[in-house]
Structure 1
């Protein structure tokens, strides 16, 4: 029995060290990449472009996740939670918010490309800075509103446990049915929109395949859609579906590690979205029009 206990303890320590290294790596890579991307987007691109506005908010969403990772690293490295239950709730909510806000902003980017490529003139009036900021405001409002009942639900059960179990406590396993379905339904709906957008844009670009002057732009556009689908399939969908099949999922931590990696790949989305990613504002306006047109 002692040997079994020692073995289980060793395996758990190794697993926790792996989680600590994984979150630490995401933080080390994601922080400079997203901070630099946000600086470039704000300094080199006009926030009158819908894509630039969505990407700025996507970078902010990733940075909000990244600033919580040091506490996850500390928790899994030491096995102790030095802060109270409220801090645990806030950090957990920021992780969920990243998946939700990122999935929505990525979908908005796909929809913007769809309008620009498939309906460049007919629906041009929808691609305005004013409409974009309204969509951004509604997204953050939705995220905050959903957090309120979730935080109350999480706090109710967390108070019955030792605070040292913060990130190993599985709040999704105790959520009310309505709250448990919010994230899976949202991610699946956003994925469906991305799939439809990808198909429509691909069909439109194939019709003009012989336009050699715009081949590079077409490749960039399709890379954006491919990356968006990868984001959902690899990072957002597994952890979201685990909520639906919680009885068969012993721990969400490996999927949370996987989902947190999305913030390291989002900067690639910014790069392929603009031919003139490194150029100044006055040079970018024309190149952006060429890429999305």
Structure 2
């Protein structure tokens, strides 16, 4: 039942003392590894992989989504350590927006990777006719749709608050319970339920297909597809499932549909920062997909990495010979 009274709720904590420390620590641990891993991945995927099929286009877009969030982490770290926001309000809302853009773009691209690898495995002849421009068009559509939908997050959190407040301390706009329920259902269906069904179906179809005796030439390809889809499923469930399970109840608590002083409501608010931090770890786990699941990525990274080492050794040897 919707609770119109706010007097009793005002005494309940909206956040816990550990939250700022948790956010700052998590983002510090993610920033440098996430920046390096995704930068190298994007460099290799874009520059050295000429055959852009087997979900490579989706991997490139997934890396871009991760980098967008990683690059916003320094200001988040500064805010949670200092407790003060010295920048413009627009910068706060932009960084807040990038967090959810990364989350839902990652969900969509992980879903596309799983579905495409499953399709290519089950329909190898149809896969030959698949054009790279199809992946480009799908990726562009995802950015437009997800980018537009995620605008709701900063809009709902753009309620007037103190000028030096940002992120977790942003206020919530008051919305009607009916509109809130509609928003929750839409976000859960499009952003979690449908993707999890697709990823689970892709994983199941690949497991079933591997039980059949494969053609000798398909054994390696089948194993690659299995590892790829399993890794996508693991990243999805580790990073995004806890947040979306908690999201339904957390949004209702913040919208005052549930009494936020209740024990269950306090538990939901308590778990929220942990689920957000788990969602951010996708920036570290996604590069594992590129390296361990895409043979082209491993080959190109090792080939060009060794060539760089050889060129440096040769330059040092030539320099030493000139001196001697």
Structure-2-length-normalised TM-score:
0.75
- 1:290 aligned residue: none
Residue 70 of structure 1: SS of its match in structure 2? helix
2:212 matches 1:193: no
Match of residue 254, structure 1, among 274, 283, 297: 274
- 1:146 aligned residue: 149
Report the Cα offset of residue 220 of structure 1.
3.1
Report the Cα offset of residue 213 of structure 1.
6.0
Larger radius of gyration: 2
Match of residue 286, structure 2, among 266, 282, 286: 266
The 2-side partners of 1:277 and 1:142 are apart by: 29
Structure 1 residues 174, 101: CA separation in 2 closer, same or farther (over 3 Å shift)? Answer: farther
Report the Cα offset of residue 276 of structure 1.
3.0
Identify unmatched segments of 5+ residues in structure 1.
1-7, 284-293
- 2:134 aligned residue: 131
- 2:97 aligned residue: 93
Check conservation: 2:89, 2:163, Cα contact below 8 A.
yes
- 1:166 aligned residue: 166
Structure-1-length-normalised TM-score:
0.82
More helix by share: 1
The 2-side partners of 1:232 and 1:214 are apart by: 27
Identify unmatched segments of 5+ residues in structure 2.
1-12, 254-264, 304-324
Report the Cα offset of residue 44 of structure 1.
1.6
Match of residue 22, structure 2, among 15, 18, 39: 18
- 1:288 aligned residue: none
Report the Cα offset of residue 86 of structure 1.
1.7
Check conservation: 1:53, 1:132, Cα contact below 8 A.
yes
Check conservation: 1:47, 1:53, Cα contact below 8 A.
no
Match of residue 228, structure 1, among 229, 232, 241: 232
RMSD of aligned Cα (Å): 2.5
Say how many residue pairs are matched.
Answer: 267
Structure 1 residues 41, 64: CA separation in 2 closer, same or farther (over 3 Å shift)? Answer: same
Q: Deviations over 1:91-129 (max 9, x none)?
A: 11111111110011011111111111011114543x311
